């Protein structure tokens, strides 16, 4: 069964390389990353401290894309996780959230 993590990064602008270390990911993992804008509420404890209830994700006027998704882990990297690029095409930094999904099954075949 796929596993998901939502990560609120805060204000980003331009081409931003990001890394998220997560033990569920290895060098052969299949990982999907989605990104969008969000509106943070002014009171972070307004909903009992559960972060997701305090933020509203939405599709705004900015172009927000994800590219260059690269899972990593041993033997080439001691940290397990994923590195990717978020591209935010907007004149000033805006709050960005990502949903990171790792699928349990690896590729059924690898071709060179």
CA distance 22 to 31: 11
Total of domains in the chain: 1
pLDDT tens across 13-52, in order?
Answer: 999 999 999 999 999 999 999 999 998 875 555 444 555 5
Domain that holds residue 20: 3-88
**Assigned domain for 75 exists:** yes
Side by side, the strands of the sheet bearing 30-40 are 3-12, 94-103, 30-40, 55-58
Query: For the chain, what is the largest distance between any 2 Cα atoms, rounded to a whole number of angstroms?
Result: 52
- Residue-averaged pLDDT of the chain: 89
**Assigned domain for 69 exists:** yes
Global pTM value? 0.85
**Assigned domain for 73 exists:** yes
């Amino acid at each position: 069964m796929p596993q998901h993590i939502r990560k609120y990064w805060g204000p980003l602008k331009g081409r931003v390389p990001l890394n998220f270390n997560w033990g569920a990911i290895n060098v052969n993992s299949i990982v999907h990353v989605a990104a969008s804008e969000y509106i943070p509420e002014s009171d972070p404890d307004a909903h009992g401290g559960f972060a997701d209830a305090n933020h509203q994700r939405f599709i705004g006027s900015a172009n927000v894309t994800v590219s260059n998704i690269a899972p990593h882990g041993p033997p080439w990297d001691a940290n397990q996780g994923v590195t990717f690029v978020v591209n935010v095409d907007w004149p000033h930094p805006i709050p960005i959230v990502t949903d990171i999904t790792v699928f349990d099954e690896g590729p059924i075949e690898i071709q060179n």
